[in-house]
Chains A and B, each alone.
Chain A
């Protein structure tokens, strides 16, 4: 079939062009790799970041302050590459210097332990409380919350020990007073050892710090499964983004041939106009499909991206997405004045659709007005479908609406493109 020949020829030419390969395959893989490296460690079990630069200024001479510093320095988290210290601690003597470093962004936070720290803890409730000062980098969003959370938990642990000892002694005193008579001999003997008993319990208390957190909080995102691996969002996202570039480029080739005169020459052959157009658009379609297939495979093999349990779903959605994108590209080419205008419009539409459709930021994070616009884009329907399969582990029936919308968009744009092309080439 003539159209198929034209389509295959165009596809072959495109895949032989090194620059095209660079943009079509290398670019999305590279960007996905960057995002994977940046966020890939983030799922439920591993910590998003580690080795947070933290400065500690310990103005106290006592043991408890030293313990506090040791605990902070010793915290390890399970990162993607194995256990890592949560903080990279620098010890300074000067609080002002420490704050200045955080101000300049050289550290994400600074802790200040005041001179009365150990004393406040050993003296118990009677003393005025002591304050640990925490200073954080305003340009950071994640580290400050982590630093605050950790410091509060450790402080809470120290406070707990103080209060535990206080309450234990108070209660014993009350129990003995209420007993009415003198305490039995065994108890009296043990009371002599109270100091040791408390010390042993304190040590045990410290050891079981993790188990003491009886109440755990499990955070969930509304309407989403627990899989937080951002790579499963961004790889489909970048695949769609770069697909748009490729098919817009492909459909523009009709206008290039128009400019160079080769289209006119093609039209003098016995091949029908319709077949030529179909061939050209088909070439862009095949290119897009091939690109998408390569990206899916490469990302699965090299980055371990989970494309979900439904290969049929992926295939159907990919077909629908490439069809919609190609038709949109054909439509833009059909009414553009020339190659340049088509290029400018194409790039503009690609970028606007990308940002509205959730290729750069989660589309659920868009405010209401923009969220409505988002639903007008090819990108949004495609991405939501893929995310359903990859992130939410849904099945084929769940993406049928998305495939349906995309095929409908494809049909509509294609019809318009054919109409406009026919009018254009009747000269």
Chain B
């Protein structure tokens, strides 16, 4: 079939070019790797059960000892009492994700009923882990604060009833201290309300710590597929400029077949590109691409279609190759960053997340996340597939209408 011949010819010329190897294969894999590493690509098997936490106790009061004992009781933390310099070096060297400093005067401030601030110094290379540890430290500090608040409460009630209003300061202090100890006992016996949290995923090995590659692998796939398809669109313009397209038109082949053949070639090439990234993601980085093959196939076909059509549309709307390249590069970077390919979409303001829904890259990322992060199947990705096909039809319509063959 003539369409298929044209498609295969496109693929052949594309893949024999060395730059294709560089940009379609080497570069995206490099980016996936580096970005995944930077976002801490720890798999659940690698994640340790507990983390070292150097604690610098510059106070040395029973209060700081109390806080430290609480931290030691947390299974997530391996408390290491250290001098200031040792703690600083440990964090800098990456041996510990963060270090906690309890300043001098901590105990006195709490005794007086004042507030006090602890310093939690984090290693930027392990920011996710550091924030997890910060939650634990904050929880321990909150409990200590709570016990103090209970002690104050009890004293105030006693004052109002009249039991402690007539006695001296030291007796009041003793009353408060006893209340504090009772509060501690009560906490140890078990608080009435307990919080149990978990991420919901149907993946067998549910991760507690975000896997960097689960974001960067689909993210880079979404972006590099567009580099490929936009390059394909630009190649159409090059053929037009160099006159080879006109030569094709002379043959007894319809315009539709020619364009269709080219687009089919670009589409197939994009599928190959994405397949390579999926394989690399699965086998080199441990991303769960393969857990729902039907869903994956549907998403790849739909996203490939949308990307190909978009490449055509941009080429059709541009007047020169240079313009197509410039506009294409900017569009891809904007689409990728706004659609959640560079960073998880949930960290941007709500209005930006709403805006993102107008972009095909957003839907691509959502569908791929359904597969690799949430562990869902084909039913879950059907909405995304539908939207992507819709985008594809729209872009195709505009592209075919506006494309000039000479």
- List the interface of chain A (C-beta within 8 A of B): 17-20, 22-23, 26-27, 30-31, 34-35, 37-39, 41, 48-52, 79-80, 88, 99, 102-105, 108, 117, 120-121, 123-125, 127, 129-145, 147-149, 151-153, 155-160, 162-164, 166-168, 170-172, 175-176, 183-184, 186-187, 190-191, 194, 197-198, 201, 205, 212-224, 340, 344, 347-348, 351-352, 355-356, 360-362, 364-368, 370
Interface size on B, residues (CB 8 A): 116
- Among B77-85, B151-159, B245-253, B262-270, the stretch that binds chain A is B151-159
Is B352 interfacial (CB 8 A cutoff)?
yes
Q: Decide if B19 touches A355 in the complex (CB within 8 Å).
A: no
For B329, list chain A residues within 8 Å (CB). 23, 27
Q: Is the Cβ of B179 less than 8 Å from the Cβ of A351?
A: no
Interface residue stretch chosen among B48-56, B134-142, B274-282, B307-315: B134-142
Q: Which 3 A-B pairs have the closest CB atoms?
A: A134-B197, A215-B141, A138-B199
Complex contact A215–B160 (CB within 8 A) = no
State how many angstroms separate the Cβ of B206 from the closest Cβ of chain A: 7
Could you say which residues of chain B place their CB within 8 Å of the CB of A166?
Answer: 186
Q: Which residue of B lies closest to A158 (CB)?
A: B193
Chain B contacts of A143 at CB under 8 A?
346
Q: In the complex, A427 Cα to B234 Cα: how many Å?
A: 36
B157 near A201 (CB under 8 angstroms)?
yes
Q: Is B347 an interface residue (CB 8 A)?
A: yes
Assess the B34–A370 pair: CB atoms within 8 A.
Answer: yes
A35 CB to nearest chain B CB (Å): 7
B186 to A131, Cβ gap below 8 A? no
- The smallest beta-carbon distance between A244 and chain B, in angstroms, is 13
Q: A34-B338, A103-B202, A172-B161 are in contact. Are A215 and B195 (CB under 8 A)?
A: no
Question: B168 interface residue, CB < 8 Å from A?
Answer: no
Tell me if B104 is interfacial: C-beta within 8 Å of chain A.
no
Selected from A138, A170, A175, A212, the residue in CB contact (under 8 A) with B163 is A175
| A–B pairs, 25, beta carbons within 8 Å | A20-B326, A22-B330, A27-B330, A31-B333, A35-B337, A38-B343, A38-B348, A38-B349, A105-B366, A127-B192, A133-B196, A134-B196, A136-B198, A138-B203, A141-B128, A142-B344, A143-B346, A149-B138, A155-B193, A159-B193, A167-B183, A171-B158, A201-B160, A213-B145, A214-B113
Q: Does A105 lie within 8 Å of B200, measured CB to CB?
A: no
Q: Please tell me if B213 contacts chain A, counting CB pairs below 8 Å.
A: no
Complex: how many Å from CA A71 to CA B92? 40
Contact status A176-B163, CB under 8 Å: yes
Given contacts A30-B334, A214-B116, A351-B27, contact A190 B160 (CB under 8 A): yes
Of A137, A162, A222, A340, the most chain B CB neighbours within 10 A belong to A222
| Chain A binding surface SS class | helix
- The segment out of B295-303, B370-378, B389-397 that lies at the interface is B370-378
Q: Which residues of B from 138 to 191 have beta carbons under 8 Å from A?
A: 138-139, 141-146, 148-151, 153-154, 156-158, 160-164, 175, 178-179, 182-183, 186-187, 189-191
Q: Are A171 and B370 neighbours in the complex by a CB distance under 8 Å?
A: no
Q: Determine whether the beta carbon of B327 is less than 8 Å from that of A22.
A: yes
Query: How far in angstroms is the closest Cβ of chain B from A239?
Result: 14
- 8 Å CB interface, B312-357 against A: 320, 322-323, 325-327, 329-330, 333-334, 337-338, 342-344, 346-350, 352
Q: Given A167-B150, A198-B157, A221-B124, 17 other A-B contacts at CB below 8 A?
A: A30-B334, A31-B333, A34-B334, A105-B370, A137-B199, A138-B210, A143-B346, A144-B197, A163-B183, A163-B187, A172-B161, A201-B153, A220-B121, A220-B122, A224-B124, A365-B39, A367-B37
Task: Give min CB distance, A264 to chain B, whole Å.
Answer: 24
Contact present for A136 and B193 (CB under 8 Å): no
Cβ-defined contact, A148 with B197, below 8 A: yes
Cβ of B321 to closest chain A Cβ, rounded Å = 10
**Nearest CB of A to B116, in Å:** 6
B35 partner, pick from A41, A176, A360, beta carbons under 8 A: A360
Min Cβ gap A215→B in Å is 4
Contacts of A215 in B (CB 8 A): 67, 110, 115-118, 141-142, 144-145
**Nearest-CB residue, chain A, relative to B333:** A31
With the chains together, A168 CA to B149 CA distance in Å?
12
The reply to whether B38 and A361 contact each other, CB–CB distance below 8 Å, is yes
Q: Is B123 among interface residues, defined by CB-CB distance under 8 A?
A: yes
Q: Is the CB of B210 within 8 A of A141?
A: yes
Known A217-B117, A220-B121, A355-B34; judge A191-B161 contact (CB<8 A): yes
CA distance A218 to B352 in the complex (A): 29
Residue among A17, A123, A139 facing the most chain B CB atoms (10 A cut-off): A139
A103-B200 in contact (CB<8A):
yes
Structural contact, A145 and B202, CB atoms closer than 8 A: no
Q: Are A370 and B179 in touch, CB under 8 angstroms?
A: no
Q: Is B30 an interface residue (CB 8 A)?
A: yes
Distance of A194 Cα from B162 Cα, bound (Å): 11
How many CB-defined contacts (below 8 Å) exist between A and B? Answer: 353
Identify B195's interface contact among A134, A175, A198, A356, CB under 8 A.
A134
Judged by a CB distance under 8 angstroms, whether B91 is at the interface is yes
Residue from the list B27, B137, B200, B334 in contact with A217, Cβ < 8 A: B137
Contacts of B348 in A (CB 8 A): 37-39, 49
Q: How far is the CA of A270 from the CA of B41 in the complex (A)?
A: 60
Query: Shortest beta-carbon distance, A162 to chain B, in Å?
Result: 5
**With A167-B179, A215-B141, A218-B118 in contact, do A148 and B161 touch (Cβ < 8 Å)?**
no
Contact B195 A49 (CB under 8 A): no
Cα-based distance from A18 to B325 in the complex (angstroms): 12
User: What B residues does A153 contact at CB under 8 A?
Assistant: 142
User: Does residue B14 face the partner (Cβ distance < 8 Å to A)?
Assistant: no
In the complex the two chains form, is B346's CB within 8 Å of A139's CB?
Answer: yes
Partner of A141, one of B113, B145, B163, B346: B346
CB distance from B349 to the nearest CB of A (A): 7
Residues A220 and B196 in contact, CB atoms below 8 Å apart: no
CB distance from B57 to the nearest CB of A (A): 14
Chain A residue with minimal CB distance to B150?
A: A164
CA A205 to CA B22, docked complex, whole Å: 64
Interface centre among B153, B162, B330, B334 (most CB of A within 10 A): B153
A360 to B31, CA, bound (A): 10
Question: Are A171's CB and B182's CB within 8 A?
Answer: yes
Of the candidates A127, A160, A176, A365, which one forms a contact with B127 in the assembled complex, judged by CB atoms under 8 Å apart? Answer: A365
- Chain B residue numbers with a CB within 8 Å of A361 are 34-35, 38-39
Pair A140/B344 contact, Cβ less than 8 Å:
yes
